[in-house]
Amino acid sequence: MLKLTYSDADLLIEHLELTVEAMVTQRSLVALRAGQPLVVQPGYGAFALPADLATDLDSSGLEIAPCDHGWLEVTLRGTWLTDCASSAEGILVVELGFALERQIVALWQRSLCWVAAPCSQGG
């Protein structure tokens, strides 16, 4: 399962050895015990990858579209967990299969290095 955590400052993409159902159950129990609201609903999330990296992505089951010069937006559909239905902060959990999930995490991690040093990528 992929877990995309959206905060006001950052995005974190992780591969976890859980099912979506197990993740929702865990988060529901934590929210219940803490007395906090939890909204669970179908949703989507997106992140950008440099086009050079995204060409390596197995795009089956993904929506990929240009978003800026040299960048592609990858959109995933899954289950959105948040404390408020209208919040842009929360967690998206998605099951795409082990190989594709690992590939997405690896490409996203490589994109972080690419953003930090784009000049070193071409030469």
Closest alpha carbon to 6 in 47, 35, 37 = 47
Q: pTM, whole model, 2 decimals?
A: 0.87
User: What per-residue confidence (pLDDT) applies to 118?
Assistant: 53
- Rounded to the nearest 5 degrees, what angle is found at the Cα of 48, between the Cα atoms of 59 and 90? 100
List the chain domain ranges. Answer: 2-120
Beta strands in the chain (DSSP E): 2-6, 11-15, 39-50, 63-68, 71-82, 90-94
Q: Which residues contact 106 (CB under 8 A, 6 or more apart)?
A: none
User: What per-residue confidence (pLDDT) applies to 85?
Assistant: 87
- Find tokens 């990528």 and name the residue: 121
The number of C-alpha atoms within 13 Å of 18 and in the hemisphere containing its C-beta is 15
For residue range 79-119, what is the model confidence (pLDDT) as tens digits?
A: 999 999 889 999 999 999 999 999 999 999 998 886 655 54
Instruction: Say if residues 15 and 103 touch (Cβ distance below 8 Å).
Output: no
User: What per-residue confidence (pLDDT) applies to 115?
Assistant: 60
pLDDT range class, residue 121, cuts 50, 70, 90? very low
For residue range 48-70, what is the model confidence (pLDDT) as tens digits?
A: 999 988 777 877 778 999 998 99
